[in-house]
Amino acid sequence: MSQMPRQAALPKCPSCAEPVESGDLFCGACGYDLSVVPAASQDHPTLTMTGSAAPGDGTAGDGVAWPAPEPAGSGAPPAAHQPADLPGTDSGGAPLPGHEAGQESGAGQEAGSGVRFDRPDEPDEYPLQAPDPRLAAGAAAPADPALLCVACRAGRVDSDGYCENCGHAQPRERDHVERESGPVAAVSDRGLRHHRNEDAFAVGHTTLPDGTPVALAVVCDGVSSATRPDDASLAASQAAGDTLLAALPRGTHPQQAMHEAIVAAAQAVNALAEEPATAREHAPHQNAPACTIVGAVVTSGLLVVGWVGDSRAYWVPTDRSTPPARLTEDDSWAAQMVAAGLMSEAEAYADERAHAITGWLGADAYELEPHTASFKPDRPGAVVVCTDGLWNYAETAEEMSEVVPPDAAVRPLHGARVLVGHALDGGGHDNVTVAVLPFPAPPQGAGSA
């Protein structure tokens, strides 16, 4: 942006500090001999702030950047320089073929940028900043891209964070998150009752060593009774997603990669409990950070899921005349009651203790037992990976199939939005996170699960 040139300050008498005019030999106020005052140095050192200088920018070998000399009498200010060993099996227990080992791909690093500035003598008065000449000429200032309302998807968001069409207050950064990665998409929302979003997710896509495409999604739900549940879910989802994206291109079997991803997620959450002893003194009865996890990997003819806790994965075929399925079993009090034959599923999930989990990621967990399973669907469909913020409003596989849009496999982001909207319309009592992964038509000759 343009700046007005600085006006030079009048010299002062070194004895009485009264202003003197250029060419005066004596101070008019006190009579001080001005001829004995040495001339001010014209050298202004340049300070290097951050980053490394580019070649040829005048940087000395000792790391100090020297400014280029200004033309004599220019008066212009110096320019600123901008700165796990599990075999893969299908549902019948038959082993799955492995993959050849591949090579890891490296990632480049970006160089940092630096800022340098000169420090001239400070004047007595600082002039006001000149107006932008583009605005003075009537030209419009460059505008940021307009944000659309997350509620009506039509209105523009004003500077106060409200929709100009429906008046809906817009969420904070993590209150509502939408993301696509290749064929997979996910949406997370704070819900209508919670003060923050304690869910997190990771989505991605890559290829196996033979070039076969593979998509993945990880969804985590922070345990509200623990400390820092939002940090736990975020750390777990990022660690699991990164592990899958690194292991699958190397040729690790998807089921083994899922196991390793859950282990990595658990380690990331455990690390959050390594806090200073003084922090524990202020809250000695708080549980360590904790969360649940569920993930899915989809590749040609193979579907792998993994989980710990009560977040779930569902299979919804495109042909709704064929039955859907729930692919995970909860680590919860209700599931234990049903498995022991002590209560029916309806009775167990109607109990107030239903959502008490018996497995989670965190330093306070009894023992980490990652669950993984492989399936080989014989038809196209969609995999829904979600927290209980959704399945509380569509618990059975049949109920979930009814609310998943028919085109979810073609428009996964739209499908995820519809499912989040279903939970919000049902009351939005919890954070809700949904990922949708299309499962393509299996290759010819593939068997069913």
| Distance from chain centroid for Cα 387 | 18
CB 422 within 8 A of CB 254: no
pLDDT confidence tier of residue 398, bands split at 50, 70 and 90: very high
Question: Which comes out higher in pLDDT, residue 290 or 155?
Answer: 290
Question: Which comes out higher in pLDDT, residue 109 or 401?
Answer: 401
Whole-angstrom Cα distance, residue 184 to residue 400? Answer: 18
CB 177 within 8 A of CB 68: no
* Summary mean pLDDT of the chain: 77
Radius of gyration of the chain (CA): 32
Whole-angstrom Cα distance, residue 286 to residue 266? Answer: 19
Whole-angstrom Cα distance, residue 266 to residue 161? Answer: 37
Alpha-carbon distance values, 164 to 110, 144, 174, 385, 442 (Å): 39, 16, 22, 34, 47
Residue 285 pLDDT: 61
What would the pLDDT profile of 261-272 be if each residue is shown by its tens digit?
999 999 999 999
What would the pLDDT profile of 56-90 be if each residue is shown by its tens digit?
343 333 333 333 334 444 444 444 333 333 444 44
Residue 250 pLDDT: 97
Residue 431 pLDDT: 97
Whole-angstrom Cα distance, residue 117 to residue 316? Answer: 61
Residue 445 pLDDT: 57
What percentage of the chain reaches a pLDDT higher than 90? 50
Give, for 203, the enclosing helix (H) or strand (E).
strand 199-207
Question: Which comes out higher in pLDDT, residue 251 or 367?
Answer: 251
Whole-angstrom Cα distance, residue 426 to residue 397? Answer: 17
Torsion over CA of 270, 273, 274 and 280, rounded to 10 degrees? -160
| Distance from chain centroid for Cα 271 | 19
Residue 113 pLDDT: 28
